[in-house]
Amino acid sequence: MFIKQLSVFLENNPGTLRAMTELLGKDGIDLLALSIADTQSFGIVRTIIHSGQVDRALNLLKENGYIAKVNHVICAAVPDKPLGLSSLLAVIEKSCLSVEYMYSFLRAAKPGTAHMILRLDDGKKAEEIFEQNGVVMLSQEDVDGM
């Protein structure tokens, strides 16, 4: 069960993140989750937005000179308490999967639950393993409803 993620490459200069988020925000695009990874010369902003806004956001970014693409990630629910994330990571480790990156979702579907956005080395295998181990994954429709 995959959801869409928008990845944007930014120069590692003051104001570039603000400019990008302002561009999206002025067009009414709501950022549901956000992660930033950087190197010395550029950063990668990964964000989750409503699926109905993905194409518009992608076009808007490209029209304004940004390098951006859409890829697919998993959104998994974990208990929002100590060891909640650890239990998910144990399932991943036991299955010999590798986490390429992970970040938390800014909104929760219900109290006591946290959501993690995950990119794993084998997404299809991860999806099967999560289903076999009772890990709750949010669908694109679930995310869009938040």
Q: Which residues pair with 103 in a beta bridge?
A: 117
From residue 40, how far is each of 6, 52, 57 by CA, in Å? 22, 34, 26
Q: Where are the domains of the chain?
A: 3-72, 73-144
The span from the CA of 70 to the CA of 60, in Å, is: 13
Q: Does domain 3-72 have CATH number 1.10.3720.10?
A: no
C-alpha dist (Å) from residue 146 to 14, 43, 47, 80, 97: 31, 27, 15, 17, 29
Tokens in use for 103?
A: 């970040």
pLDDT digits (tens, 9 = 90+) for 97-130: 999 999 998 676 677 888 999 999 999 999 999 9
* Rounded-to-integer distance, Cα 37 and Cα 46, Å: 8
What is the pTM for the complete model shown?
0.88
Superfamily name with CATH number, domain 73-144: ACT domain (3.30.70.260)
- Parts of the chain with a pLDDT under 70: 106, 108-109
Tell me if residue 122 falls in helix, strand or coil.
coil
